[in-house]
Amino acid sequence: MSKDPAMQLRGNVSYATVTQISGPLIFVSGIKGVGYDELVQVKAGNRHSMGRVLDVSKEVAVIEVFKGTTGLSLGETSVEFLGRGLEVGVSQDILGRVFDGIGAPADGKPEPFVKEKRDINGSPINPTAREYPSEFIETGISAIDGMDSLVRGQKLPIFSGAGLPHNALAAQIVRQAKLLNSSESFAVVFVAIGITHDEAMYFRKSFEESGALANTSMVLNLADSPPVERITAPRVGLTMAEYLAFEEAMHVLVVMTDMTNYCNALREISSSRGEIPARKGYPGYMYTDLASIYERAGKIIGKKGSITLLPILTMPNDDISHPIPDLTGYITEGQIVLDRGLYRKGIYPPVDIALSLSRLMKDGVGKGFTREDHMDLSNQLYASYARMKEVRSLEMVVGEEGLSEKDKMYLKFGEFFEQNFLNQRENQDRSIEQTLDLGWQALSVLPEDELTRVSKEEIKTYMKKS
């Protein structure tokens, strides 16, 4: 929200008429001229916090207090309405810096140079102004490059589970993504949402080692930071990313973790307001709310930069049908799903390819982008891997003796695929050719008649019998 002239005339008025406190919310009565979604300053003794108007009527305003309401009391709390929304200052100087969840510097250094102030909510991109993302990003990770390719401007989340190596995978993507090697300028925006200090440090170290730190802006809301600021942190990060991408022509990779903490903060606020939930206590507008974050990724016609979004979420109970991954999958352009079974087998990255998807892959791979056989090959690998899984479950019932010769070939294929294609080291950076060749090598275990998704010509050109 930009500064509203009427509000400026009104001046900033302070009220001491808090009548109710509930969870992170306070209710202020006797107000005049307060705007919906307006930013407020809440004071109680020497405690200060920002807040935001969630609902306003002639009599009462409902305010969400960012730092929470602990220590606030009815008599001693005063509220000042600021006549604007939450804004962050942006310029190139935000790179190399650390901020808290509402965009204030958190690295002990002074406020960076402010070229302009921007409301953290942004505005929706007109669909006619979008440029359809189609530039392949080589991550050097076969599971992604080969099967679920990432393109510039895509929003592709990692669906993980507690204890799975999602951080390692995200850090490896940031390190190896060939955004870094191209001549165009790049930036990383890292948004921590309710994660531990250790996790945040892990990312910081990884950016440092790859030399990306100077081009990274970190927005940190850690586990012990105020939960309400989990709602603002991703928006602060995206506002910075939008500036860098669309004003400074940079290719920005935004990593946000852990979106599950974001959704839980949303649920908490909703229930304090007494709203009727949809499923599992999450508010009915969670889809729209998440979309207002994820849809900020993309490319715009006539602008050089891009925002590629890599959110991480941990699926409660590894359940992909839980509202958090479910609603995310409905919004994002695919998902990389990590699997506990593969992890236990020692496979890194433990990507469950059956459940993973990149919706933008079809336009970013193939002739002129990666290699002409890429799409057919990946379709074939999917189909064969799915068939292999059926054979594995059949084997559980009938034992190995009960399997046909063909079935056994599928098992061999599955072994090779998991151990040699999916599996790689955390610092291993495979070229797309290496990835595709490995895929063909896996297929070479199977009889040619089984390969109906690839053409005869492709088999002839790319299959090297081993």
Residues 167-206 that bind other proteins (CB under 8 A): none
Interface stretch with other proteins, choices 99-107, 205-213, 277-285, 427-435 (CB under 8 A):
277-285
> CB under 5 to 8 A by kind: which of other proteins, ligand ADP, none does 247 bind?
none
176 closest CA partner among 371, 337, 349, 350: 349
* Distance (Å, whole) CA 314 – CA 159: 6
Interaction residues for other proteins, span 279-338 (CB under 8 A): 279, 284-285, 287-288, 291-292, 295-296, 298, 300-301, 303, 321-323, 326-327, 329-331, 333-335
Q: Does 453 bind ligand ADP (CB under 6 A)?
A: no
Q: Among all residues, whose Cβ is closest to ligand ADP?
A: 359
Site for ligand ADP in 339-378 (CB under 6 A): 357, 359
For residue 88, which amino acid is it? V
**Cβ(57)–Cβ(112) under 8 Å?**
no
Minimum gap (Å) between residue 101 Cβ and ligand ADP: 31
In angstroms, the CA 173 to CA 140 distance is: 8
Distance in Å, CB of 335 to ligand ADP, minimum: 11
Q: Kindly tell me which of 204 and 340 has the beta carbon lying closer to other proteins.
A: 340
- Residue in the structure block whose two tokens are 């895509």: 154
The residue count for binding other proteins (CB under 8 A) is: 78
Q: How many Å separate Cα 56 from the centre of its chain?
A: 32
The vertex-220 CA angle with 122 and 104, nearest 5°, equals 65
Nearest to 324 by CA among 246, 238, 277, 264: 264
DSSP per position, 200-247: HHHHHHHHHHTT-GGGEEEEEEETTS-TTHHHHHHHHHHHHHHHHHHT
Of 12-51, binders to other proteins (CB under 8 A) are 32-38
Smaller CB separation from ligand ADP, 50 or 357: 357
For residue 137, give the nearest of 304, 360, 437, 351 by alpha carbon.
Answer: 360
Q: Which two tokens stand for residue 324?
A: 């958090």
Nearest to other proteins of 22, 73 (CB atom): 22
Report the nearest approach of other proteins to the CB of residue 120 (Å).
12
Q: Which is nearer to ligand ADP, 193 or 327 (CB)?
A: 327
Q: Lay out the site mask for other proteins across 100-119 (x = CB under 8 A, - = otherwise).
A: --------------------
* By CB under 8 A, residue 449 contacts other proteins: yes
Nearer to other proteins, 70 or 404 (CB): 404
Distances from the Cα of 83 to the Cα of 12, 48, 86, angstroms: 7, 18, 10
Binding site for ligand ADP (CB under 6 A): 357, 359
